[in-house]
Amino acid sequence: MHDYRARLLRADPDQVVITVVRYRCAAAVCRARWLLLPVLLARHLWRRWQVVEVAALERRRPPDWPPVPPRTRRRWRARLRLGGRVLTQVLAASALPALEVVAQRVGLTATRRDLVLALALPLSAAAALLHRLAPGLRLM
State the pTM of this model: 0.73
State the burial class of residue 112 (Cβ atoms within 10 Å of its Cβ: 0-12, 13-18, 19+): buried
Q: Torsion angle, CA of 118/124/126/132, rounded to 10 degrees?
A: 180
Neighbours of 33 (CB within 10 A): 11
Per-residue model confidence as pLDDT tens digits over 80-120: 999 999 999 999 999 899 999 999 999 999 999 999 999 99
Per-residue model confidence as pLDDT tens digits over 15-65: 777 788 888 888 888 878 887 777 767 766 777 888 888 888 888 888 888
Q: Which of 118, 122, 100, 98 is nearest to 110 (CA)?
A: 118
